[in-house]
Structure 1
Amino acid sequence: MVDPVSPSRRSRAPAGAFAILLIALVGCQQELPTPDLAGTSIEAQKARDSRPGTYHNALTINAGPLGKVETCADPDIVRGQQPGDRHWYLYCTTDPLNAKDRDANGNFNFRLITMAKSTDLVNWTYVGDAFTQRPAWVRPDAGLWAPEVVYLNGKYHLYYTASDTVAGGSAIGVATSESPTGPWVDSGGPAVEPHPAPCCADSRRWTFDADVIQDSSGQNWIYYGSYFGGISVRQLSADGLRSDPATQKEVASANRYEGSNIFVKDGWYYLFVSATDCCRGPLAGYSVFVGRSLTPEGPFLDRDGVDLNATYVGGTPVLTMNGNRWVGLGHNAVFTDAAGQDWTVYHAIDRRDPYLAEPGGLNKRPALLDPVDWEGGWPTVRGGLGASDEVMPAPASQPGQRSTYRVAKEKVAEPSKLLTAYSDEFNGTVLDKAWTWVRPPAPAAASLEGGALRFDTQAADLFEDSNNASVLTRPVPQGDYLVEVKLSINLPDSGCCFNFSQAGLVMYGDDDNFVKLTQASIWETRQIEFGKEQAPVPPGFPRYGNTVLSAAAPNAIWLRIAKTTDNGEELYTASTSRDGTTWTRGSTWTHQLGSNPRVGLVSMGGAGFTARFDYVRVYNVKQKFPK
């Protein structure tokens, strides 16, 4: 999706001296001897050239006198297909190149899908925009988003989202070219037309974010969709220009996912999808999840066997916040380098430099690159380490190069010694004296019964200025620790809408500074939400942001938050389990909750439901490699 705006402080790369040197070298190239660097033989130099270099996120895209391309949302990468073409090509959604990319009136130049090329997948050169004007069937003020480029029938096909059309509603368009950089000739109409969401006959669904594959039989398929309407797949014509509505199937729930990307490996179709808000600056919780299927039409199940199209919606986390500077990671594309190593390109936001210009405006979403590993048939980024913010071995971009990337695994926080003084099994008849209420509920709304805390949901909330929900809190130990709760909340197994009834765990500094992990009803889905609120913030900055985790559960759910520290920052990492034994790690929020944070329990967002907390357990933390 497009970001409807982040101050650039990067200087332009000097060009003049380099250009003079380059001209001199080209003019003299017939007289230059073959280099033999550091006295090595030509064979040794060739061996050295077979090893890729290094890179550091974000990717560098040079635009000559226009400066650096500082935002490349919804990126897609393809390799040149014509004989002799050694380049890779990068495509980005409609955005300005950088904060200085403005017209004579000072307004941003929204470029209609930027294009860049590279021979090493690391250093990129901007080569222009796919379109100089919108196709006639697209409204003149529409965005052209989320490029997807594939090579079919000897031509490059550029699929794009038209955010609005002359006919009304969003659609997927397609243009073709003999070259990966155009000129692009539009097909004259949508490949996927505006049409209703499955829920609502008179609506216009969000027909966004195309991805196209061809299966082993030669059948083309197009995936598309976003939060309103969910994600669907259709058969695509042999020429790649039109899809068949009669073949449409829904493969991922509405109000959960967008940005679909299909990657085929070892007979499986892996559906990568992105969830939550792409564009909340330093509080963007955008994250990538995956499910897989043996057929292009699904069903796509996550690692726990939960359908991405279920009410308690499935999805195994692949790429999410890990505590470094990168937040809002998503809308990825997976590809394979020349040495057979898989990689993913995606956009993210630097939480310390989130905007192209004024705060709260256009989000700066540069393109990032990281290796994809496979564990037991499931993808993981950098062996679980996630987005990189250090020097990394570059991909093998050319035939004959050898990959120098080696998988490393991250140590994860797991419970160690149970700290009984900070824990509660709720086996008594009255609350332990360590518990105190922030805004006590009505006496009948909460009680101990049957070895659990019963806590009715309230028509109240803990959100920005709406701080009227009751929070049951108690102290936590100094230093690092892990909190675990087991709970259930009797939300309906299907149906809409019970927004935003929820229950769960809060690491509470005060009403405006906390992280929250709850099982929640979100439109027609049930999800695990992991949110962060902070105050005060600079003018224009958001106060609340959220992400989601793996599948919720209708009967009982186990939730954990591990608090650790790194370079003076507090890191809060969430995990979930559907059985209390097998845990799936999710995102990490950074926060500063002050000198006396407390663990809290909430049951709120809408009256009419009941949560039961079986226990609250607080542990020391140990760091270990996952199995």
Structure 2
Amino acid sequence: MRHRRITAALGAAALALGMVGAALAPAQAGGGHDDGPATSYTNPVTADFADTYADPAIIRGKDGWWYLYATSDPLVEGGEFGLMHVARSRDMVDWEYRGTILDEGSAPSWATDTSFFWAPDIRYVDGQYVLYFTVTDTELNAGDDSAIGAATAPTPEGPWTPVAEPVVPPRPDGGGFFWTFDPSMLADDDGSRYLYYGSYYGGLWVTELDPSGLRAVGEATQVAINDKFEGAYVLKRDGYYYLMASSANCCAGPSTGYSVFAGRSESPRGPFVDHEGVSLLDTRPGGTQVLVQNGNRWIGAGHHTVVSDLSGQDWIYYHAIDREEPWLSEPGGINRRPTLLDRLDWVDGWPVTRAGAGPSEGSQTGPVAGSLLGLTVEDPAEGRALRGSYRPDVDEQSGDHALVRGRVWTDEAAPEEVHVELDLRTRRTEPFLVRVGRGSNRIEVEVNPGERELHVEYGHGRFQEETTVPIPEEYDLSVWTALQVHVVEGQVHARLSESRLGDVIAEVGLELRPGILRSAPVELRGTGAHVDNLSVNAAHEPVAEMVAEPVRGEVLVEESFDDAELDGWEWVREDPAARVEDGALVWPLTGADLVGAGGSGGLLLREAPAGDWMVETKLTLDLGDTEVRNYQQAGLIVHADDDTFLRLGHVAIWNTRQVEFGKEVNQDGFLSWGGHTSGPPADTTWLRIHHTTNDAGEHLYRSAFSTDGESWRWGATWTLPAGSDARVGLYTGGGAQPETEAVFDHVRFYDAG
């Protein structure tokens, strides 16, 4: 059985700070931590208890634990399909398996006996936990009629009560049903809640939810084109809504090219566009690369969630495939997809994993999950780290915590640049205050339940400035609410949220005068305010630059196609329709293809230079706009044999036109093909493949494309074994109708140093 588918007060302060949706600050340069209690880890982080743990979702419970959920694959080799899984951790790194989520007695009554439960999304909504998930088949219709279900619980581990009806019901398409997969919820600062869902067949959509978060209301809006994205995840940052989603086949074993892209919008309903302004709804769909395989052990990196640690650092949890061990041998056909963890940076306003370095291999500096100043995060009332007027208390959701009844302060001074985080619950109308600073140089963040306001002010000698935003009436402050306060040189930023997952109840920021920050204790003030999960850590310094991209060197070989004899080239299955004309190779598409057993596509190949190199071609190929031309294409190819090759081309995939970098390989007795979909081509597109070798002698090939010949989008890296005798050249393929021709202007090999 295959797992799943085959085929407004932020102003300058927020802009300068780079307020993250699920966190308040980007990563620290190099992944290090200033004085904070950081952990270390090696991917995959679920290796201690699981062979596969796909489609991860995470939340920090009000009890101080982090909880990690996964889709209903068998947990281990030879295991049975579960009804989703949950694990927990104190440090975001070492996970303890806690069991399955649903059973026969707690599954939705409208799900069939053979339905699977995929892609959980966990949120804290109005005092209870809500788990959204895909139900692959229901009793509501005949046929494969997927829907979005939900279950509620008082704790992250249950007991779970399924919702009586689908949150999003099956969606007929006239002959079947659109794929209603992969839910992701977002709460916004106007009191509204949204649910994003969908997949390749039907595209990505967003609908508003009722106040309970358990029922879709109003008209849904499409936010991404079909045949391109799934696994949506949305967070809010700097006034933008960021839609991140995965692309390509999730589950093609050793040729899985799954990866994550992003678009952003000033509205939760879009339109979402990438860094070049290309819409995710375009038939040549845009998308800024967030996460992509880099040539190490991990391929097919995608379907993610984003969460912040206790210093404000963003982290991305996602699944990936070990290219040397891609399958669970029992049951057969299931991809082995453990959960990985890596730093998520924000560079020039866009999310990117490890500044563009991609999935990590080997020991890494991990999240900050504890606290400075001697605080016990899960129980602030424990020990002597706090002074003042408070007493221990107990809550059924949070456990042990502190009841603040006046002025409370830390015994030690906090760092000058500080991240303070806590959970707050109050039934009183009196304000709750967080204060940082000394004397007249102080910063104050106030949650005022009576006035329904989040207020920030600071003083610097005689100077004082303040700003306030409303707290929507839809949010109940008598249940646990997260407060994050982030202070760095020049800014203070505060956010209230339910789940710490890009959701916003209220957020506010101010620019600070130079010199205001001082190392000082953190002070809390409240009247009957319950406080838990209090942490104080050094704030992070952002990563401001991407890792270096390949650089083109001197020309080693140039083919300008002014010689009809094509000296230095060799045809494999020569196409007599191809011709040299006006300084270009003109090659009509004839319907042949190389993919699969007995591939028949023609190739024009030559030997590659020794060492590291980069090959480039300029391709003109008119594939129309929206009509189905499966799978007309042309581009560059790296060819070891007809079952072992890589190809980078402009391709028509149903109604879309994309740049695809694919791989075919015969491994473990399986002939598999998969691809990485890179981005939006033009009728004239420049294509590049950059070749290097690693310490083991394996060949690494990284893709890039450009629509102007100057700015390049770098994408995935595929590998071929050491000793592969691969030649490089050109190919065409796909349907012969309607008639079209590929025009190759040149082929150049450059030194790549």
Answer whether TM exceeds 0.5 for this pair: yes
Return the alpha-carbon distance in structure 2 between the equivalents of residues 552 and 240 of structure 1: 39
Return the alpha-carbon distance in structure 2 between the equivalents of residues 358 and 95 of structure 1: 11
Residues 255 and 522, structure 1, Cα contact 8 Å, conserved in 2? yes
> Which residue does the alignment assign to 1:424?
559
Change (3 A) 1:360 1:618: farther
> Which residue does the alignment assign to 1:559?
687
Change (3 A) 1:532 1:61: closer
> Which residue does the alignment assign to 2:95?
124
The within-5 A match list for 1:143-542 is: 143-168=116-141, 169-196=145-172, 200-244=173-217, 246-358=218-330, 360-398=332-370, 399-402=535-538, 407=543, 410-419=547-556, 422-426=557-561, 428=562, 430-442=564-576, 445-495=577-627, 497-535=628-666, 537-539=667-669, 541-542=670-671
Return the alpha-carbon distance in structure 1 between the equivalents of residues 748 and 324 of structure 2: 34
Deviation at 1:612, TM superposition (A): 0.9
> Which residue does the alignment assign to 1:549?
678
- Report the AA paired with residue 556 of structure 1: T
Structure holding more helix per residue: 1
Q: 2:114 matched to 1:141?
A: yes
Q: 2:543 matched to 1:572?
A: no
Deviation at 1:100, TM superposition (A): 4.8
Return the alpha-carbon distance in structure 1 between the equivalents of residues 117 and 632 of structure 2: 36
- Report the AA paired with residue 685 of structure 2: I
Deviation at 1:464, TM superposition (A): 2.4
Return the alpha-carbon distance in structure 1 between the equivalents of residues 331 and 555 of structure 2: 44
Deviation at 1:598, TM superposition (A): 2.1
- Report the AA paired with residue 552 of structure 2: P
> Which residue does the alignment assign to 1:10?
none
Change (3 A) 1:578 1:406: same
Change (3 A) 1:280 1:146: same
Return the alpha-carbon distance in structure 1 between the equivalents of residues 563 and 47 of structure 2: 64
The within-5 A match list for 1:37-56 is: 50-56=36-42
- Which of 72, 77, 91 aligns to 2:53? It is 72
Helix, strand or coil at the partner of 2:170: coil
| Count of aligned positions | 553
Deviation at 1:352, TM superposition (A): 1.8
Return the alpha-carbon distance in structure 1 between the equivalents of residues 639 and 47 of structure 2: 42
Structure 2 length normalisation: TM-score? 0.71
> Which residue does the alignment assign to 2:73?
95
Deviation at 1:595, TM superposition (A): 5.9
Change (3 A) 1:48 1:304: closer
Residues 561 and 575, structure 1, Cα contact 8 Å, conserved in 2? yes
Helix, strand or coil at the partner of 2:254: helix
Residues 276 and 548, structure 1, Cα contact 8 Å, conserved in 2? yes
Gaps of 5+ in 2: 6-32, 371-534
Deviation at 1:402, TM superposition (A): 4.3
Helix, strand or coil at the partner of 1:414: coil
Deviation at 1:216, TM superposition (A): 1.6
Return the alpha-carbon distance in structure 2 between the equivalents of residues 230 and 436 of structure 1: 42
> Which residue does the alignment assign to 1:113?
84
Deviation at 1:573, TM superposition (A): 0.3
Residues 198 and 204, structure 2, Cα contact 8 Å, conserved in 1? yes
**Post-superposition CA distance 1:12-64 (Å, at most 9, x none):** xxxxxxxxxxxxxxxxxxxxxxxxxxxxxxxxxxx9994212011111465xx
Residues 254 and 672, structure 2, Cα contact 8 Å, conserved in 1? no
- Report the AA paired with residue 584 of structure 1: R
Residues 61 and 125, structure 1, Cα contact 8 Å, conserved in 2? no
- Report the AA paired with residue 289 of structure 2: P
- Report the AA paired with residue 423 of structure 1: E
> Which residue does the alignment assign to 2:44?
58
Helix, strand or coil at the partner of 2:355: helix
Return the alpha-carbon distance in structure 2 between the equivalents of residues 470 and 577 of structure 1: 25
Return the alpha-carbon distance in structure 2 between the equivalents of residues 325 and 467 of structure 1: 28
Return the alpha-carbon distance in structure 2 between the equivalents of residues 549 and 588 of structure 1: 11
Q: 2:729 matched to 1:600?
A: yes
Deviation at 1:542, TM superposition (A): 3.5
**Post-superposition CA distance 1:582-627 (Å, at most 9, x none):** 11110000113856432211121111211111111110003xxxxx
Return the alpha-carbon distance in structure 1 between the equivalents of residues 325 and 88 of structure 2: 26
Residues 196 and 232, structure 2, Cα contact 8 Å, conserved in 1? yes
Residues 281 and 542, structure 1, Cα contact 8 Å, conserved in 2? no
Return the alpha-carbon distance in structure 1 between the equivalents of residues 551 and 132 of structure 2: 44
- Report the AA paired with residue 60 of structure 2: R
Change (3 A) 1:604 1:251: same
Helix, strand or coil at the partner of 1:86: coil
Change (3 A) 1:370 1:2: farther
Amino-acid identity (%): 43
Return the alpha-carbon distance in structure 1 between the equivalents of residues 35 and 100 of structure 2: 32
Deviation at 1:509, TM superposition (A): 2.0
- Report the AA paired with residue 550 of structure 2: A
Residues 58 and 366, structure 1, Cα contact 8 Å, conserved in 2? yes
**Post-superposition CA distance 1:244-291 (Å, at most 9, x none):** 2x4211111111110000021111111111111111222211111111
Residues 157 and 177, structure 1, Cα contact 8 Å, conserved in 2? yes
Return the alpha-carbon distance in structure 1 between the equivalents of residues 46 and 731 of structure 2: 45
Residues 531 and 544, structure 1, Cα contact 8 Å, conserved in 2? yes
Helix, strand or coil at the partner of 1:282: helix
Helix, strand or coil at the partner of 2:38: coil
Change (3 A) 1:393 1:181: same
Deviation at 1:466, TM superposition (A): 3.4
Return the alpha-carbon distance in structure 1 between the equivalents of residues 274 and 594 of structure 2: 31
Residues 61 and 126, structure 1, Cα contact 8 Å, conserved in 2? no
Q: 2:751 matched to 1:620?
A: yes
> Which residue does the alignment assign to 2:384?
none
Return the alpha-carbon distance in structure 1 between the equivalents of residues 251 and 676 of structure 2: 12
Residues 77 and 330, structure 2, Cα contact 8 Å, conserved in 1? no
Residues 39 and 369, structure 2, Cα contact 8 Å, conserved in 1? no
Deviation at 1:434, TM superposition (A): 1.4
- Report the AA paired with residue 122 of structure 2: V
- Report the AA paired with residue 112 of structure 2: R
- Report the AA paired with residue 113 of structure 1: M
Return the alpha-carbon distance in structure 2 between the equivalents of residues 470 and 324 of structure 1: 31
